[in-house]
A and B are shown apart, each in its own frame.
Chain A
Amino acid sequence: MAFNGTDRIVKAIHETAALLEEKGYDNIKIMDFCGTHEHTIVWNGLRSLMPENVELVAGPGCPVCVTPAFYVDQAIKLALEGVRVYTYGDMYHLPGSARPGSGEPRSLSEAKALGGEVVVVYSLLEAIKHARENTGDSVFIAVGFETTAPSTASAVVNNRLPQNLKILNVHRLTPPIMRYTFEKHRENPIRGVIAPGHVSTIVGARAWKFIPEEYGIPTVVAGFEAYDVLIAILLILRMLYKNKPGLVNEYSRAVSWEGNRAAQKLLEDCCEVNDALWRGLGYVPASGLAFREKYKWADAAVEYGIKEPTPEEWTYDLPPGCRCAEVTLGLAKPTDCPLFLKVCTPGTPYGPCMVSVEGACSVWARFGEGGVAEKLARELGL
Chain B
Amino acid sequence: MCLGLPGKVVEVRPDGVAIVEYSGGLRSEADARTVDNVKPGDVVIVHAGIIISVIDEEEAKRQLEFLEEFISDLERKAEQLLP
Contacts and interface: CB of A to CB of B under 8 A. Distances in A.
Interface of A: 1, 3, 5, 8-9, 12, 15, 34-36, 61-64, 88, 90, 122-126, 143-145, 147-148, 150-151, 154-155, 158, 196-199, 201-202, 224, 227, 231, 250, 252-255, 260-263, 266, 356, 358
Contacts, number: 129
Interface residues of B, number: 35
Given A9-B71, A88-B48, A154-B34, A260 B53 contact: yes
B31 interface: yes
Counting chain B CB atoms within 10 Å of each CB, which of A124, A227, A260 scores highest? Answer: A260
Interface in B24-78: 29-31, 33-36, 45, 47-50, 52-53, 55-57, 59-64, 67-68, 71, 74-75, 78
B10 interface: no
Contacts of B3: 36, 198, 358
A225 B35 CA distance: 24
Contact of B48 (A3, A123, A266, A358): A123
Nearest to A357: B1
Nearest to A62: B1
A154 B51 CA distance: 11
Contacts of B33: 154, 158, 262, 266
Contacts of A34: 2
Contacts of A1: 60-61, 64
The list of the 10 closest CB pairs from A to B, nearest first, reads A123-B49, A253-B60, A201-B53, A125-B49, A198-B2, A151-B50, A147-B2, A150-B34, A262-B36, A254-B53
B28 to A, nearest CB: 8
Contact of A252 (B35, B50, B59): B59
Nearest to B50: A151
A231 B36 contact: no
B43 to A, nearest CB: 9
B19 interface: no
B31 A196 contact: no
A36 B55 CA distance: 18
Given A35-B1, A36-B3, A262-B36, A254 B50 contact: no
A353 to B, nearest CB: 12
B48 A198 contact: no
A263 B3 CA distance: 17
Most buried by A among B17, B31, B55: B31
Given A15-B78, A253-B55, A122 B35 contact: no
Contacts of A199: 2
Contact of A263 (B52, B56, B78): B52
Given A35-B2, A125-B49, A198-B2, A12 B75 contact: yes
A196 B62 CA distance: 21
A266 B34 contact: yes
A7 to B, nearest CB: 10
A202 B33 CA distance: 13
B48 A356 contact: no
Given A147-B52, A252-B63, A90 B29 contact: no
Given A123-B49, A158-B16, A253-B63, A196 B29 contact: no
Nearest to A5: B71
Contact of B47 (A8, A126, A158, A198): A198
Given A1-B60, A147-B52, A356-B1, 13 more contacts: A3-B64, A12-B74, A123-B49, A147-B4, A150-B50, A158-B16, A201-B52, A202-B52, A231-B67, A253-B59, A263-B35, A266-B34, A358-B1
B52 A260 contact: yes
A122 B52 CA distance: 15
A208 to B, nearest CB: 15
A154 B1 contact: no
Contacts of B16: 158
A361 to B, nearest CB: 15
B67 to A, nearest CB: 5
A371 B45 CA distance: 35
Contacts of B57: 253
B47 A154 contact: no
